[in-house]
A and B are shown apart, each in its own frame.
Chain A
Amino acid sequence: MTNATLDARHSPANLEDILAPDGSAWNEMTGEVIALTPTPLDRQPSAYVQAAWKDRNHGAVAAVTVQAIRNDDTLALRLQWQAAQPKRSIDDINAYADACAVLFPANGKDTDLETMGSPERPVVAWHWRAGTDAPFSVTARGIGTVERSAEHQLQARSRWSDGRWQVVFARSLESDGLSLSGGTDIPIAFAVWCGAGSERAGLKSHSPEFHQLRIN
């Protein structure tokens, strides 16, 4: 699997244009196709989950196309993936919504992605779930330790059409969370949950290694 470098090139577009999931600002940006694989079942921190999914596939989404863009004060990422049977909300007791996330080392440099971070080197993630208005920011210090928090500087917009999700995350460059000040490459990873396949929690497709985000 090759390690992609995602260029967040400067754009004169304003925030609204960038947030539009099918907006023209994105047309000019090259996309990277990131291969995704199912998370290893033996890493699920619950014997029940391991037993229940032993004979059942997860990690249905095999690839996500990612683009990055920046203007004077915002960084945005657009994730696109195929979803023939979208789950746009949790509309029943046994329904799970489609979702995606972008992960970074909290220090902007390094962490262990396989274990979802460690107590010393947490992972931060931006998490979007279909049917909810606001994305949330997540911190994890190991598998099963995800803590959610609302991050006011983080926004997301989504659109599903023609069998495909388009999700844009946008965050101001200056914010308390992860430093996006530019100049260096930030490791970045991706995860997608297929609601139609009852994927949730650690049952997802992910990029098993970090790629690089370059904020120009």
Chain B
Amino acid sequence: MNTAVTSKHQFAMVFDLNKCLGCQTCSVACKTQWTRGNGMDAMWWNIVNTIPGKGTPRNAFELGGGYKDGQPVPGELPGKAEWGEAWDFEYDKVFFRSADDDEDNRDYLRPRAHDGKPPRWGPNWDEDMGGGEYPNSYFFYLPLVCMNCEKPACLEACPRDTIYRRDEDGVILIDEERCHGYRFCAEACPYKRIYFNEQRAIAQKCISCFPRLEAGVAPACVRQCPGRARHVGYLDDPDSHISKLVNTWKVALPLRPDFGVKPRVFYVPPTMPLAFDENGDFDENQSRFPMEEMRKLFGADVEQALATVESEREKVAGGGQSELMDILISRNWNDMLGPYKQDPGKLVRPPRRGND
């Protein structure tokens, strides 16, 4: 089996959840770049979910997969109703309706599922839900891509070695020519980051924009992020933002470490506002987001990570200096891009193909 964990570099990302706006620019950047082909309409290789929420697909993190005590955990693969399908917005009706049509019955861009009915589920469906009771309501946004795991459950589940780890950077890729569409990988990925292309009967997922990486350009989701929430680089380079945030400052944590796949996307957990007590005053000891749930998402180190971010923040607020705050703020945006600073607009590119 193709399970070697070694690669020349360890491509990794850090998403700063204190900066993510939930704007889905990353999702659309990815959609535009990669998932416009046949059978890819409903694919969101990058998706941002609201937490608390059920995720994409519904109950994404409760469907098994990954490892427990080193043994593979059986996973479920939900159907398209649970992932959410690509909606039709009735453009024809709205833009090409006759002038004689009933004025009182104007159409608008209503989403429709394939059966013509209003959608019943979709990506980030719980956008507006949040958790807690007013005034202690809370939520944050959680962007997801393929995590290029160090112990990739997808790769190890495939009975025919279709999934492989690139030697140069450890990016995990599916060989579409080899894939027979068995979908054990999709069951086994605990983050449910593998999509199935029904038309082509193959599995597809985030490719970390590897053709861009090869040209020194950061992934589309990273470059286009208006929140400047995404750092990219090599985990094995001690001077990288990634390594400093993960290893030196220990403020960037794996999502659901209990899944046992050792993901290479790390999250700076969100420092939530303080809770109000019954008198309407801040309760200095109580975050609005239940710490128990925070620990479930980011592991036992989350409290220390949050404390570090808060104390470094205070240091700077008091006029001091903080390397951590400098990295998280990244006044020069290019600093967030690690070895991938190339401006794609300045590349000499081959002419576009007709159907692109």
Q: Are A45 and B196 in contact (CB under 8 A)?
A: no
Q: Are B159 and A202 in contact (CB under 8 A)?
A: yes
Q: Are A93 and B198 in contact (CB under 8 A)?
A: yes
- Given contact pairs A92-B80, A93-B83, A144-B159, A48 touches B184 in the complex (Cβ within 8 A): yes
Q: Is B72 an interface residue (CB 8 A)?
A: yes
Q: Is B161 an interface residue (CB 8 A)?
A: yes
Number of A-B contacts (CB under 8 A): 72
Task: State the Cβ distance, B324 to closest chain A Cβ, in Å.
Answer: 39
Q: Are A46 and B196 in contact (CB under 8 A)?
A: no
Chain A residues 73 to 96 lying within 8 A of chain B, measured CB to CB, are 90-95
In whole angstroms, what is the CA distance A47 to B67 when docked?
Answer: 11
Q: Is A1 an interface residue (CB 8 A)?
A: no
Q: Are A92 and B160 in contact (CB under 8 A)?
A: no
Which chain A positions have C-beta within 8 A of B246?
none
Which chain A positions have C-beta within 8 A of B195?
93
Task: State the Cβ distance, B352 to closest chain A Cβ, in Å.
Answer: 30
Q: Are B158 and A46 in contact (CB under 8 A)?
A: yes
Q: Are A48 and B72 in contact (CB under 8 A)?
A: yes
Task: State the Cβ distance, B58 to closest chain A Cβ, in Å.
Answer: 13
User: Which of A93, A94, A145, A201 has the most chain B CB atoms inside 10 A of its CB?
Assistant: A93
Q: Is B187 an interface residue (CB 8 A)?
A: yes
Q: Which listed residue (B73, B80, B184) contacts A93, Cβ 8 A?
A: B80
In whole angstroms, what is the CA distance A91 to B80 when docked?
Answer: 10
Q: Is A51 an interface residue (CB 8 A)?
A: yes
Q: Are A201 and B198 in contact (CB under 8 A)?
A: no
Which chain A positions have C-beta within 8 A of B201?
90
- Given contact pairs A92-B80, A146-B180, A49 touches B157 in the complex (Cβ within 8 A): yes
Task: State the Cβ distance, B211 to closest chain A Cβ, in Å.
Answer: 26
In whole angstroms, what is the CA distance A91 to B184 when docked?
Answer: 17
Q: Which listed residue (A46, A94, A148) contacts B159, Cβ 8 A?
A: A46
Task: State the Cβ distance, A18 to closest chain B Cβ, in Å.
Answer: 28
In whole angstroms, what is the CA distance A47 to B79 when docked?
Answer: 24
In whole angstroms, what is the CA distance A143 to B246 when docked?
Answer: 41
- Given contact pairs A48-B153, A201-B159, A201-B184, A93 touches B72 in the complex (Cβ within 8 A): no
In whole angstroms, what is the CA distance A91 to B79 when docked?
Answer: 10
Chain B residues 174 to 224 lying within 8 A of chain A, measured CB to CB, are 180-184, 186-188, 195-196, 198, 201
Task: State the Cβ distance, A182 to closest chain B Cβ, in Å.
Answer: 33
Which chain B positions have C-beta within 8 A of A51?
71-74
In whole angstroms, what is the CA distance A156 to B80 when docked?
Answer: 30
Which chain A positions have C-beta within 8 A of B83?
93
Q: Is B150 an interface residue (CB 8 A)?
A: no
Q: Is B227 an interface residue (CB 8 A)?
A: no
Q: Is B78 an interface residue (CB 8 A)?
A: yes
Which chain B positions have C-beta within 8 A of A45?
1, 159-160
7 example contacts (A-B, Cβ-Cβ < 8 A) are as follows A47-B156, A52-B74, A52-B184, A90-B181, A91-B198, A93-B83, A200-B183
Other contacts beyond A49-B184, A145-B160: 19, CB < 8 A: A46-B159, A47-B71, A48-B72, A48-B157, A49-B157, A51-B73, A52-B75, A93-B77, A93-B196, A94-B77, A144-B160, A144-B161, A146-B160, A146-B180, A200-B180, A200-B181, A201-B160, A201-B180, A202-B159
Chain B interface residues toward A at CB < 8 A = 1, 71-75, 77-80, 83, 153, 156-161, 180-184, 186-188, 195-196, 198, 201
* 10 tightest A-B CB contacts, nearest first: A48-B157, A52-B74, A48-B72, A46-B159, A51-B72, A92-B79, A94-B77, A93-B196, A201-B182, A144-B160
